[in-house]
Structure 1
């Protein structure tokens, strides 16, 4: 029987339950704020669809089509599978819209926020700094930006936060000898640690951080390994089991593992290996400065130059760092410092520092340090209040809470303003997110389906175009040739003026009957692209100045050629423009040879004095892409040697298969096979100008 006034265990737990409800409600509101910042106007901001985002979309679509799970995607310099696999699920459920690719990242970013609360609960063991950690991460500009990009880096903080939140709670329970609660947490920690390798290259550092934390705890906390050794081995075994398929793949394909890191690592970019250390030392001020002074300059990843921390968060961060260092004997308190040190290494040892994408594992640590700083400031102010007379502790605590709340609100306002106004309206995003190509795809999809459409000079297999286009598009490089449609077929040629200034005037000269039907400017008002419509006619291409009429195999005809100079001197470069016509579809990609022949060349031991071999249009319009009836203008430069004697030289051309070096049979219009399967084009006069006395 209870004594009078004894409310019993149920009553004693009522305040704890009430506090728990308030904490849950606060966490829900913070998560909703995170969702608002990551989902608001997601179909519009960022604009367009960046190449790497589109790669994830194209790869996800391919995954859905063949139904075969993949451990690694070797294209695009290698991509880990987690993000692409989740994008495939989203596309299957919600449809193949560009913003769905980004929705997967946004959801990952939102989920990281409550996980950050769980992580901070394990670090601080108190509600306020745990909620503050979640709130700072929710409003952190860096994390908001990457949560809205349809790429894989945002999964690094997600898996890292889950791994260490579970690990800390598993270890805490182990210390309290509650083994039944330890097991699920440590299993989850191992799953997330192994899963971090499937996210992004920066995720490879998450297990490194785990090893560093365990080593630090074992060094400073007596009996740590004795109490937690079995649990840690269990987590490590699960992590290794999860990572095993990817590790086995890399063992079989080491080049896939090294390809992307080697392309940006200082050790491979430096002139010599010994230059890598000075390069890292040079990177160090840039990496440290990204928090307070100047951040990533890439407009895709940041408002160029914006530091990670605004002034208020910088104050909290410094205070939190000081607090953590002061508690260096407590491994949990030092975890955010270790985390930060390890996760900035990827940008420290690579080019283009500071690179926010490579350091993307660090935001949870930044948030935890800011939360620790907030707790430290409250403690320091409370201590100051006890020393001051005439100021009530309640008033001081209230004023402190109000100021800290206003500071966090100010930081949230800065994030929203800088992202949705300053950054979203920046003209730099037009190219940073391939907005122009997205506009071209939208325009092309609206053209009549029976009309041929060509693009120059961006290839049609650009991932942004691959994902967005709903119809067939051919592409060539107008700077090295041109393609005209088959007879009696209308066509539209889309020219990206920002890269190809030559095609539009050349096309207007060759086909004055055409007209400009569409234009696109970039965000600065500069012409970016134009569409030139060619009405159908029986002779869609201009006639060659020099007619030839020859056939090569069953698929190619050579109508003639043009020269940019009929007379040349030794040392000159003469451009031969071959006029091909596609007769039948060709499966193979043949190489064109163009030769300048004369008397025996003593250097080469034969009649060839100059030559140029390449696939048509320098490989941008290979023979396998030719459609029957098309006329392809194909430019080949012939560099005449300085020692070439004056005289009349012969021009010849033909096609061969590079793999076998076998030439395609060549016939005259009369049906007679040509010697050497080479079409004799005509002659070129080489003269030596006499010096004036």
Structure 2
């Protein structure tokens, strides 16, 4: 069986034609590189938390032997590992930077263009294409007309890598049907299919696609009878299955022992979950309209609601789609339509259809349909004479290039100016992290009430000195550095309580605007405490008590010295850190009644890790004063003996065993504040 082609003789296959074909491929790849790498770290400027998660996991692999690299990353809804492995290699070169995170998806997206050219070349004979080289080039160039692909080139998520492998798998598969000795191409397709299981969930649908397509190819492929087709391809197809299973085996074994991870993300987004109200018919309508009516509203993956195609590409796409439908009884068109049906299942069966991220596997069908429609224009123009033939080619490539310009403007102008990009892409966190990295390296940095645990700030500040970056929820507690200069960042969640408290405690500090969003609103403020600046606690009632493990009580404050029954009482405790605590303790503040015998009865109280967990004691630093606040409602009435006194008992304990933190010379390991008097109602 010789290689199938419609342009393999005469002038159409001359060395000059082949040279210009490869020049065109190189030029298209270079154009792709320009679009993918231009202003790579600026648009979008923010580092999205999903790609930051991937960057953090990649960084964690550096220094580990390969055999210790995990096969699956269950955090952040679960992720297959290949893109994280590759990102680790990129970070080994560039370090943990935004450039390192963006480089991999951009480079992968550049490779998609020549891969699509190859796919178009191999699929062309089965689609009835007459201008094979033009069709292949147009298939590759069509991807640059899709804002869809440009968005995937700018974010480190799994979809872009799956797309590249999918195209290579399909190209190898159709190559196997085009050549006389197909075994090696079957083996390559099987290997790539196995590798794809390490990329993204839609890879699990590839076996379904081949089960739908291979029987049709055997039965209806022209040139050989079905039995002859089986004789030619059974060894290669069997080898592909074996190689694919062997390649995917480690991950499949992992899922066998961890079935909950296999369905982790799918179970969270499937439309049949109780929390989703969309109907199946609405899903279908959303997908049918994604091409030129209404696209994805997710700002991370699209200009909100922009359809896949612009006005220049609607006509060629519809023309190509009509050719596919018209020829659906033939293996080539049927294979393209089957690919669309299978790869749209992830968005059909999940919430928020159409979701361009989950539908990424259908993207090659769009490029094939566009190229097929433009090839039809070439055929029509050629039928009218040589002059019209040249005009038809110019029109086809002109439409593609015009659409590329539209896509360029849609991304680098319209999308870049979109106000929602700031918030969706975590630009505030990104700018705050860069600002923190530029401050005095000898000073401490605190983020409040959020930022310290955010993946974006964690990744961008990975190489800061130990204990320099800290955080707390300033709506509940504050950490005051008393022996070092410090910079406190407050995001929009708390511009009041935390900043007001700290400005009272640090009278020599100064407040500045740190981050402003695209609409001019202040997103983050920074409080600067200079070296040697004064530290004071005006409301504190001095009550020094030394505990153990480096912690001392410095004083307290009560919102009501004589609370009324039924009132909410706020207890503010000032803990001085003399040495770094070794345990993550839980604090308690209880209203207790103590009688003349010393027996106590708890009447009310609160137990919580400091700051509601945002100020864990094992992260406290020597020289800090941690101001923590607990609250509870005083009882409406008490039935205690008349000789009993009311106190507030405070202290710490370890949650695992309930054992209280030792207080020297204190048998009950508690500090009693009081006695108190409940005011008469």
Same fold (TM over 0.5): yes
Counterpart pick for 1:545 among 516, 540, 547: 540
In structure 2, the partner of 1:161 is: 167
State the Cα RMSD in Å.
2.7
Aligned to 1:597, the other structure's residue is in SS state strand
Q: CA deviation at 1:219?
A: 6.1
Distance 1:262 1:649, change over 3 A: farther
Q: 1:124·1:333 contact (CA, 8 Å) conserved in 2?
A: no
In structure 2, the partner of 1:525 is: 520
Cα distance in 2 for residues equivalent to 1:327 and 1:225: 23
1:237 aligns with 2:242: yes
Cα distance in 2 for residues equivalent to 1:13 and 1:393: 17
1:423 aligns with 2:423: no
In structure 1, the partner of 2:85 is: 85
Cα distance in 2 for residues equivalent to 1:146 and 1:27: 21
> Which deviates more from structure 2 when the two are superposed, residues 311-320 or residues 102-111?
311-320
Counterpart pick for 1:559 among 551, 554, 557: 554
Aligned to 2:570, the other structure's residue is in SS state strand
Q: 1:283·1:348 contact (CA, 8 Å) conserved in 2?
A: yes
Q: 1:102·1:151 contact (CA, 8 Å) conserved in 2?
A: no
Counterpart pick for 1:594 among 589, 596, 604: 589
1:666 aligns with 2:663: yes
In structure 1, the partner of 2:279 is: 279
Cα distance in 2 for residues equivalent to 1:569 and 1:130: 82
Structure 1: gaps (5+ residues): 1-9, 386-391, 601-605
Q: 1:46·1:149 contact (CA, 8 Å) conserved in 2?
A: no
Cα offsets for 1:98-128 (capped at 9, x unmatched): 1122111111111111111111122213222
Distance 1:103 1:554, change over 3 A: closer
> Which deviates more from structure 2 when the two are superposed, residues 81-90 or residues 633-642?
633-642
Cα distance in 1 for residues equivalent to 2:188 and 2:494: 50
Q: 1:541·1:631 contact (CA, 8 Å) conserved in 2?
A: no
Cα distance in 2 for residues equivalent to 1:649 and 1:226: 92
Cα distance in 1 for residues equivalent to 2:581 and 2:325: 69
Cα distance in 2 for residues equivalent to 1:685 and 1:364: 76
Cα offsets for 1:146-185 (capped at 9, x unmatched): 1122222201110100101001111232xxxx22xx1221
Q: CA deviation at 1:513?
A: 2.2
Cα offsets for 1:438-486 (capped at 9, x unmatched): 2222222222222222111224242222222242201111011111003
Structure 2: gaps (5+ residues): 1-7, 126-131
Distance 1:213 1:650, change over 3 A: farther
In structure 1, the partner of 2:133 is: 127
> Which deviates more from structure 2 when the two are superposed, residues 507-516 or residues 304-313?
507-516
Cα offsets for 1:354-412 (capped at 9, x unmatched): 22111122211211111122223444566xx6xxxxxx533443443333333212211
Q: How many residues align?
A: 651
Q: CA deviation at 1:199?
A: 1.0
Q: 2:504·2:536 contact (CA, 8 Å) conserved in 1?
A: no
Q: CA deviation at 1:323?
A: 0.8
TM-score with structure 1 setting the length: 0.88
In structure 2, the partner of 1:347 is: 347
Q: CA deviation at 1:637?
A: 2.2
Q: CA deviation at 1:541?
A: 4.3
Q: How does 1:143-542 map to 2 (within 5 A)?
A: 143-173=149-179, 178-179=180-181, 182-218=182-218, 220-221=220-221, 223=226, 224-225=229-230, 227-270=232-275, 279-379=279-379, 392-469=384-461, 470-471=463-464, 472-486=468-482, 488-498=483-493, 500-537=495-532, 540-542=535-537
Cα distance in 1 for residues equivalent to 2:211 and 2:675: 73
In structure 2, the partner of 1:3 is: none
Aligned to 2:354, the other structure's residue is in SS state coil
Distance 1:619 1:459, change over 3 A: farther
Distance 1:438 1:270, change over 3 A: closer
Counterpart pick for 1:625 among 619, 644, 649: 619
In structure 2, the partner of 1:117 is: 117
Distance 1:14 1:267, change over 3 A: closer
1:64 aligns with 2:62: yes
Cα distance in 2 for residues equivalent to 1:310 and 1:11: 37
Distance 1:527 1:683, change over 3 A: farther
In structure 2, the partner of 1:611 is: 605
Aligned to 2:552, the other structure's residue is in SS state strand
Distance 1:450 1:294, change over 3 A: same
Cα distance in 2 for residues equivalent to 1:310 and 1:480: 51
Q: 2:474·2:494 contact (CA, 8 Å) conserved in 1?
A: no
Distance 1:363 1:315, change over 3 A: same
Cα distance in 2 for residues equivalent to 1:314 and 1:688: 78
Aligned to 1:66, the other structure's residue is in SS state coil
Q: 1:196·1:206 contact (CA, 8 Å) conserved in 2?
A: no
> Which deviates more from structure 2 when the two are superposed, residues 350-359 or residues 411-420?
350-359
Cα offsets for 1:489-536 (capped at 9, x unmatched): 221211113555432223223333211245321111100111111234
Cα distance in 1 for residues equivalent to 2:206 and 2:675: 67
Distance 1:213 1:608, change over 3 A: farther
Cα distance in 2 for residues equivalent to 1:132 and 1:397: 16
Cα distance in 1 for residues equivalent to 2:603 and 2:331: 74
In structure 2, the partner of 1:51 is: 49
1:574 aligns with 2:580: no
Cα distance in 2 for residues equivalent to 1:198 and 1:172: 28
Cα distance in 2 for residues equivalent to 1:190 and 1:541: 69
Distance 1:534 1:459, change over 3 A: same
Q: 2:432·2:514 contact (CA, 8 Å) conserved in 1?
A: no
Cα distance in 1 for residues equivalent to 2:551 and 2:22: 72
Q: CA deviation at 1:59?
A: 2.0
TM-score with structure 2 setting the length: 0.89
Q: 1:498·1:529 contact (CA, 8 Å) conserved in 2?
A: no
Aligned to 1:44, the other structure's residue is in SS state coil
Distance 1:96 1:545, change over 3 A: closer
Distance 1:641 1:408, change over 3 A: farther
Cα distance in 2 for residues equivalent to 1:101 and 1:515: 35
> Which deviates more from structure 2 when the two are superposed, residues 246-255 or residues 508-517?
508-517
